[in-house]
Structure 1
């Protein structure tokens, strides 16, 4: 009998057949990442202590060059073109050309965040969509809103963000045999939630499967400029198959402009993807009309990559790397399996090695574990199940940036510090994390973590 555990089907297929207990007819719940942020805020306003490791916000100060540019253009209140302002389309195209991805201005579509653009892309492509497992919470949720089928394919160990190529081929073969061939496969480079970066060989292998099954590749590269080692060889699918790959990115992670809501997508004009781009622009015209013009003009500046902003991104990359590695060491010392963080600002510990100790405290699932940490220790994380992982797997998604500080003075000091993990407000949170995990693991002798060098 064939092993169905290699990939998981959720939502509904195009015929409306139910494949999962959670359906489009059920209430749409608040996104887990936003929900935990609201819970953290509620606890702080109530005077409750909390170590905020749940929300993936970059949490670094906005560069003065960007705030000055926003003020300069604040009076530009017109809608502007649906696809985006010409100067932003030009700068975004050149940004990708510098990354060895052939792009013209007419390939670019601008939206109020990459999240909105992803939704429009999913709508234009239809389903089924093949996702890596685990993966960012909104991919499956957006397809659920659209009533489209999603198939989650496990990611290779230590290489999150793309499906295992062999399992992907099996999933695509099965869908084709069922008469509902997959429309697209998605990759995230670097990955949220695991903080890892797929190897060039794995990217090539997934691209090969995409070509064999005529799949569009969606490449979410919102963290691409935050690969921890700037000298690392990182290959993206658009560098291999530019005519088959749609890219989404933005400024929320690299420059901490999440609240300004600006995303860009690259949708090539080869074959059927030309119609996809036209459909995305049509959807944009009916939903958001045009991204805010002042923010688009700031984005044009940002995508031109002036030296001051390149330096700021390098600073933030270093800060994210040091704190992610430090937090990973603390979780590893508590007995969790943790892949070395390689990009972005996430850690994904798996507590399987101490399942027995956790079961004795009532933590049988990742949801139980996240609840236990929050209620007993004041440590806010997200359960792996929120990212499509198996409920029984004792995995957590941990985001480190909210450790950097609660005001711009603290955040700037963290950004500029040689050893940010030794700053008093960061050390205080790390000590609470260390002590809480020590109690969770049932050990009072868990060694103190050594700051990374």
Structure 2
């Protein structure tokens, strides 16, 4: 491809210069749509969308603000920043509105953060696909560190210490670690012990912590939430959005909470400057809807509680389905993901289907059984592993009426259409792992 500059000079742009392709999660969504358009069978377990209808009051707030077309402040309007500050304060993280910045979703905020901080990025392995991709877009190969055994979302502190010191000895410059609580892709919530150890190690290594807590309100069991900002407040930036707890992924509005420290103030101003060039300001109608939602009105708190029950019921049922055919499956604790490992079935899968990697396994499930899932390798897991990321929301219903019925059901997994999907999944998995 040739690009012609203002002076008439020509430059050749090679697609080989960029390793970044369409996000695996978004590609899965497009694959689902394409199969359905072609009239092919599909069991959609690949895309991490919340899968419930928009609450009518949120839709109403957006409609009321539809005429707000002016550019707003780069960091967000006061009402939305104050609401986000209240949201975090009520969750045990005292926050002032001046330490909050809004953006069109948490993904661009993360990119602006990584750009502002500079240096190399430390990630848990596995981790959500966009963390590594954004690091690569900035010209930095991420430093991946295994998670503690049985956990997810945070690097093992001892392994992180060794990896960072080795990277620095080799001339690299690690400056930030990104964590997710609870985790995508594993559905696990890191323990308080692991988060405290992470914070201590990050302080010793002088690493900024970026805590993606987008699924915080969707932890299935009540109890203390292990936010890094509680133990390393001076060096933790916390992000959230409305896309998961309120199922507003397409509305694109997120927020970041910056440390109340000189470093936090400098970082916020740097990110604000970057934001002014990347997105100017978050769309005004979204900000007004966010100001209402982050206020935790009772009707929306009730909706989130129902969503949490729905996600927990179906995630546990899906995990049980994979376990029933011989997979190792960590019990999901939050969000709407399951992380089955087919390692105990490796021999049968290799003999019958030629499966040697998680990508092979995902391909066979799609081509032979119409099941859309993502390979563990897309999240930084060892390609030779046989892990999959399964998003359970694709079986909540084919219409808003079914999804609403599942949302209010006392036992959502028992709803006829969900039970039928679970039975179909069990049959497909049994056929997949059956002896040739």
TM range (shorter): over 0.9
Q: TM-score, normalised by structure 1?
A: 0.91
Match for residue 169 of structure 2 among 177, 186, 193: 177
Q: CA deviation at 1:127?
A: 2.1
Q: CA deviation at 1:269?
A: 4.5
Match for residue 295 of structure 2 among 296, 304, 307: 304
SS where residue 335 of structure 1 aligns?
coil
Aligned partner of 1:200 in structure 2 is 192
Match for residue 402 of structure 2 among 398, 401, 410: 410
SS where residue 265 of structure 1 aligns?
strand
Aligned partner of 1:392 in structure 2 is 384
CA distance in 2 between counterparts of 1:147 and 1:434 reads 43
Aligned partner of 1:286 in structure 2 is 277
CA distance in 2 between counterparts of 1:273 and 1:216 reads 10
- 2:332 is equivalent to residue 341 of structure 1: yes
Q: CA deviation at 1:44?
A: 0.7
- 2:425 is equivalent to residue 427 of structure 1: no
- Determine if contact 2:53/2:404 at 8 Å carries over to the other structure: yes
Match for residue 110 of structure 1 among 89, 97, 102: 102
Aligned partner of 1:26 in structure 2 is 18
Q: CA deviation at 1:275?
A: 2.2
- Determine if contact 2:19/2:136 at 8 Å carries over to the other structure: no
C-alpha distance 186-24 of structure 1, shift in aligned 2 (>3 A): farther
Matches within 5 A, 1:91-110: 91-110=83-102
SS where residue 174 of structure 2 aligns?
coil
Q: What do residues 210-264 of structure 1 show as CA deviations (whole Å, max 9, x unaligned)?
A: 01011100000000000001x2222110011111100111000000000000000
Q: What do residues 57-100 of structure 1 show as CA deviations (whole Å, max 9, x unaligned)?
A: 00101111101111111111111101101011111111111122
- 2:70 is equivalent to residue 78 of structure 1: yes
CA distance in 2 between counterparts of 1:303 and 1:192 reads 22
Aligned partner of 1:381 in structure 2 is 373
- Determine if contact 1:153/1:164 at 8 Å carries over to the other structure: yes
Q: What do residues 276-327 of structure 1 show as CA deviations (whole Å, max 9, x unaligned)?
A: 2111111111111111101101101100000100000000000000000000
- 2:224 is equivalent to residue 233 of structure 1: yes
- Determine if contact 1:127/1:150 at 8 Å carries over to the other structure: no
CA distance in 2 between counterparts of 1:272 and 1:174 reads 26
CA distance in 1 between counterparts of 2:147 and 2:311 reads 23
Aligned partner of 1:358 in structure 2 is 349
- Determine if contact 2:348/2:435 at 8 Å carries over to the other structure: no
SS where residue 124 of structure 1 aligns?
helix
Q: What do residues 393-416 of structure 1 show as CA deviations (whole Å, max 9, x unaligned)?
A: 000000001110122101101101
Q: CA deviation at 1:149?
A: 3.2
Unaligned runs of 5+ in 1: 1-22, 445-453
Unaligned runs of 5+ in 2: 1-14
- Determine if contact 1:136/1:387 at 8 Å carries over to the other structure: yes
Length, aligned pairs only: 421
CA distance in 1 between counterparts of 2:17 and 2:69 reads 38
SS where residue 262 of structure 2 aligns?
coil
Aligned partner of 1:218 in structure 2 is 210
SS where residue 255 of structure 1 aligns?
coil
Q: TM-score, normalised by structure 2?
A: 0.94
CA distance in 2 between counterparts of 1:29 and 1:180 reads 25
Matches within 5 A, 1:46-195: 46-195=38-187
- 2:246 is equivalent to residue 259 of structure 1: no
CA distance in 1 between counterparts of 2:84 and 2:175 reads 26
Question: Greater CA deviation, 364-373 or 423-432?
Answer: 423-432
